[in-house]
Structure 1
Amino acid sequence: MNNFKQTLYEALLVAFGKTLAKYNAFAQATILRDVGRELIDYLNRHGFAFEETGSADDLARLTELFVKNGFCEKLEVQPASRGQNFVWHNLYGREAYKELHEVSDNPFLACPLNLCLYYIADKNHKSMHLLNKSFATDGAVVESQYEVVDEEPLEQRKLDPLVIENARLYQLAREKAESLEKEVAQRVRAEAELQAQKQALEKEIEERKRVEREVENVHRQLVEASHRAGQAEVASSVLHNIGNVLNSVNVSTSLIGDRVRNLRLGNLARTADLIEQHRANLPQFLTEDDRGKRLPHFLAELSRHLNQEQTELAVEVAGLERAVERIKQIVAAQQTYARAPGVEENASIAEIVDEAIRVQACAAEKNAVLISVDIGPLPNARLDRRKILQVLVNLLHNARHACEQTSRADKQIIVRVRPDGDRGVLIEVADNGVGIARENLTRIFAPGFTTRASGSGFGLHSAALAAAEMGGSLIGQSEGPGHGATFILRLPFGAAG
């Protein structure tokens, strides 16, 4: 059975050799040189390195590399009158060379070694010329005589001008092709780099979108937490104030109970029984009996006592009614605050300020903190009562705590409301409490920041968010510790008329 790989190798030699034979000498030389260069480069990259020195020895060393790796069984190099005679024993692919010998003057054009030698010789400005060749009858021995000479300049050769022009044009075409190949390779590399950059950019964009989604989610959770914290702050104030009022209610009910229990109703009942017993002789009983004689004086004293108790009970009941009314007002304010956010209604800033003060009034009175109001004339407007109330309750709550932490007797909170030019309204909540350190003025609106042990750190943050949601702003001012603080809520006319 024939060896397919060897047959395929020989077929390639024949096909390449016959094709080369169709070209002129200059075209053949160019093709031989280019193919030889690619062959040597491939061998170098696959473990058959051939290190060029640029000397004439390169040809012999390259030939030795081929022979050592099975190109033929043995090679004899013999001196000749011109050049050298090479005797190849069992040359690999010899059947192909025999066939090419029948159709070409140079059957070794497609020989891999010949291609590589042509390239090396050309680099050293040498020319290889085949002077003679012969094949043994059995094909086992092939002889080739080569002469290597210095390359003659093209202009000195005695050649047909048309051949020279063809060679020149072919050289130009080859250089252009090489230039185009380099340009195509550069474009391919550039496209690959652009594709890689595009993929990296797409990944970066996707990562940024993911991070933005996470940030948006965290922000949404933070806003919700801030709103809940603001609601909790108001609820805490409401419960605290209701608790204070309930203390007053408890005191009043206790006093009323004591007074009712201490009423001299038992004596009145006994007096009534005594009168009932002497109904038949009542005039005689009142004038002759010692008990009857004392009865008018006793009734007068009892009347004065009951009138006094009635007056004092009326005072306590009035106080109890006021306390109940205050609880109703606080609950009403809380109900206003509990309305759905973002619902606008026609109302006045003055009413909302009054509601916010009522929420804090009891706690302020208990701690001797005076809350005063300075409101200029403002028209009613459509506004979000709940959000404004949230902000004001929080500011008043903080102001009250700031005042409670001072030892001064004149603890005071002032709420000022005035137009903000043609743009909207300004609401100031100023206190003469402990003040704010300068370094904290930029931090007080940050979520979680607080200087109070019992603070949540979300009150001012939620207030600032509510102000921003209404298209306004909230800022804090202080000259430092001990100088109080002022918070300014600015709302545009779109929110506050």
Structure 2
Amino acid sequence: MVISNTAMTGDSPLELTSSYAEMTYQRVGSGVQEPRAGQLRAAPQRKDSKIMIVDDDDLIVRCMCKQLEQFGHQQFVTTTSGQEAVELAVKEQPDVVLLDIMMPDVDGLQILRTLRVTPATRFTPVLILTAATDSETKQEALKLGATDFLGKPVDASELGLRVRNLVVVKAHYDQLQDYKVGLESEVARKDEQLVASRLEADQRYRAGKAEIAVEVLHNVGNALNSVNVSATMLQRILQQSHVGSLEKAVRLLYSNLNDPVTFFTQDERGKLLPEYLIELSAAFVAERHAFTHEIETLQKHVEHIRTVVTTQQRYAGAAGLVERVKLDELMDDSLRLSSFSGTESDTEIVKEYAELPDLLLDRQRLLQVFVNLIKNAEDSMQSAKRTNRRLVLKTWEEDEQQLYIEVADNGMGIQASDLQSIFAHGYTTKSDGNGFGLHSCANLLAELGGTIQAFSDGVNQGAAFRVELPYAVAE
């Protein structure tokens, strides 16, 4: 076995240029130009390409090395043993293998067969050197995967040209392999991104559903507290009722039925009884009003609970379904599922809804967005400790191309420096916030082809969040 790096001597009289797939070698003086731009892997210069020669005649091996040196090749791996040829090829990874068929220890065709079933050399170009001229030998070699043929005795110019072409072929194969590896890596990266995106979308969806559920529980809890208050008031009214006094008056009257005239004209109790009954009647009227009021309040809170639960059930389906939606009803449902739907809300709610046709929207995801924005508005106004809270819900379209929904409040406002970063994950100004809500809203809207912007004139100046969506009318 001989592995050599020979010095290139003299100038080659031959300029070789291949335009095949942007592979160019130009021998100029004693140097070799770099390959043209635009390739994944730089094509090897002839001095860098590794040529392996397998021939049992050492003289022929040395002659071919000298001949290829004249074409700029400097790296050679040679062996006169067929038995070590495959192992050497696997170890050295040549760009081209020159293989003699007539080998004394191992037939050249057997070496070729082994090279082609060995993964490391499966696509290495093999130039068959043979003195045989019969077509049967050539056909057998081609079936086994021979790349090219060259007859013996070898012509130096033809040897240089054929080796040059095979080096180019190998370089293209290496480029394709690089491209394949790059594509596989890119596909794997995209797959990971897709999985991560789906996971994040699922987390956002679950977080949104959880937030709505929390709002529903909060809303129902408030209503149940009010129900409890009304029930307590009813119990107190019954406990303080004047029914007992009426019962005493009736017994007194019954005991004097035999002589009612004397009872009402001479008995002091009888003289006071008519006035007492009049006062008792007035007390019963007041009790009835109080009782009726508490019953109506109780019914209102129970109806509110039923409405909230029914609304939640209507939105309990899977997200991602685009359906016919009345936007004003969607906004009202968002209010209903937020704290602003409570019967004791002291916030002025202004609805500036445009007259819009039924639209094709993702009801579930948009509900999550609007409930989040309304809840943020509530928190902002509570933090500002305003007594004249004002929430404005506005919808409109422009040129039947874009749909706009705006949620505005007169709460704490937003600093100018925060307007751009407010939608970033983890960003929050709340002491108990997690920075997920607005980020989730922005991502959900992006999935729907929409955007969200924040507007504010500064701290304590209120804020507005404007959602922009494609305008799609339901047919």
Normalising by structure 1, we get a TM-score of 0.59
TM-superposed CA distance for 1:271, in Å, is: 2.3
TM-superposed CA distance for 1:396, in Å, is: 0.9
TM-superposed CA distance for 1:408, in Å, is: 4.0
Aligned with 1:373: secondary structure? strand
Aligned residues of 1:245 and 1:326 also touching (Cα < 8 A): yes
Residue type of the alignment partner of 2:465: F
Change (3 A) 1:280 1:458: same
Aligned with 1:494: secondary structure? coil
RMSD: 3.5
Structure 1 counterpart of 2:239: 261
Instruction: Work out the number of aligned pairs and report it.
Output: 337
Structure 2 counterpart of 1:348: 326
Aligned with 1:405: secondary structure? helix
Change (3 A) 1:377 1:362: closer
2:186 aligned to 198, 202, 208, which one?
208
Residue type of the alignment partner of 2:412: V
Aligned with 1:339: secondary structure? coil
Residue type of the alignment partner of 1:239: L
Alignment of 1:51-450 (within 5 A): 177-362=155-340, 368-450=346-428
TM-superposed CA distance for 1:361, in Å, is: 4.8
Aligned with 1:371: secondary structure? strand
TM-superposed CA distance for 1:178, in Å, is: 2.0
The separation in 1 between residues aligned to 2:335 and 2:283, in whole angstroms, is: 41
TM-superposed CA distance for 1:382, in Å, is: 4.7
Aligned residues of 1:333 and 1:356 also touching (Cα < 8 A): no
Change (3 A) 1:338 1:443: farther
The separation in 2 between residues aligned to 1:192 and 1:345, in whole angstroms, is: 57
Change (3 A) 1:382 1:202: closer
TM-superposed CA distance for 1:496, in Å, is: 6.8
TM-superposed CA distance for 1:225, in Å, is: 0.6
**Structure with the largest fraction of helix:** 1
TM-superposed CA distance for 1:447, in Å, is: 4.2
Structure having the higher Rg? 1
Aligned residues of 1:425 and 1:496 also touching (Cα < 8 A): no
Aligned with 1:486: secondary structure? strand
Aligned with 1:253: secondary structure? helix
The separation in 2 between residues aligned to 1:438 and 1:366, in whole angstroms, is: 34
Aligned residues of 1:229 and 1:456 also touching (Cα < 8 A): no
- Structure 1 unaligned spans of 5+: 1-33, 47-172
Change (3 A) 1:327 1:179: same
Change (3 A) 1:347 1:190: closer
Change (3 A) 1:220 1:439: farther
State whether structure 2 residue 421 is matched by structure 1 residue 478: no
The separation in 2 between residues aligned to 1:457 and 1:285, in whole angstroms, is: 81
Change (3 A) 1:361 1:37: closer
Structure 1 counterpart of 2:7: none
Q: Deviations over 1:230-275 (max 9, x none)?
A: 1122222222222233333232222222121101222222222333
Residue type of the alignment partner of 1:274: L
Aligned residues of 1:424 and 1:496 also touching (Cα < 8 A): no
The separation in 1 between residues aligned to 2:385 and 2:247, in whole angstroms, is: 56
Structure 2 counterpart of 1:461: 439
TM-superposed CA distance for 1:288, in Å, is: 3.8
Change (3 A) 1:220 1:448: farther
Q: Deviations over 1:412-434 (max 9, x none)?
A: 22111122222143211112222
The separation in 1 between residues aligned to 2:411 and 2:192, in whole angstroms, is: 40
TM-superposed CA distance for 1:368, in Å, is: 4.3
The separation in 2 between residues aligned to 1:286 and 1:486, in whole angstroms, is: 75
Residue type of the alignment partner of 1:330: V
Aligned with 2:168: secondary structure? helix
